[in-house]
Amino acid sequence: MSEGGSGERRVALVTGGSGGIGSAVSRRLAADGMAVVVHYAGSAASAEAVAESITADGGTALALPGDVAEPEQMTALFDAVEERFGGIDVVVNTAGIMLLAPLAEMELEAFDRMHRVNVRGTFVVSQLAARRLRRGGALVNFSTSVTRLQQPEYAAYAATKGAVEAMTLILARELRGRDVTVNAVAPGPTATPLFTQGKSDELIARIASAAPLERLGTPEDIAESVAFLAGTGGRWINGQVLFANGGIA
């Protein structure tokens, strides 16, 4: 069993926990013995399925809803987690959306949608985590390797993730004395519906071959990085962006 400093079971909240990476993260943290709250915004059935799969494997999990960009809803979510489990030790922000277009053609409405979820949502959840994570806790935000790759059509998306990196690195310094780590994981191309949507098989194969390991990442690859940062082995990693991309950048 994963335990905090007081010997209690550690508790993790995974935003976007029903998504491709979020579900893998939820299952991986549960495998480490954490009680996991699988957050969702739109797909209750998917989140419930993830929670049920964790429970079926002997773990502890429940699915709870909320809009990450709304402070009242996220405060209620944190309240519910604390009421159910007594506290929160790990927060993982996998919730995000990706809309692609050349900068000159990107609709402002699409940019605003991404900013609301990726930037405002990360800010709202990070603020609550900063106030309420227990000692020995960890906050793991999500960036992207595209901030280094500079690929056409990704300007607006990468801009939102650049903001996430800035918040993450500064918050780590602001939490001096709290014994809480704050890091970000920056995946490269990962085989999730978010990545493969709208791409031809030929394009996916070409992207996969770009990495020295000559494959796409898997949600489980990314979950391992999160588990490291959230676990005892990552306690000396703080204020960093971990690029989990197989060497593509």
Rounded to an integer, what distance in angstroms lies between the CA atom of residue 190 and that of residue 25?
A: 14
Burial of 87 (0-12, 13-18, 19+ CB in 10 A): middle
What residues are annotated to the active site?
Answer: 157
Residue 18 neighbours by CB under 8 Å, 6+ apart? 38, 40, 43, 46, 47, 49, 50, 63
SS3 string of 48-66?
HHHHHHHHHCCCCEEEEEC
Q: How far is the C-alpha of 182 from the C-alpha of 194, rounded, in Å? A: 25
Q: How many residues does the chain have?
A: 249
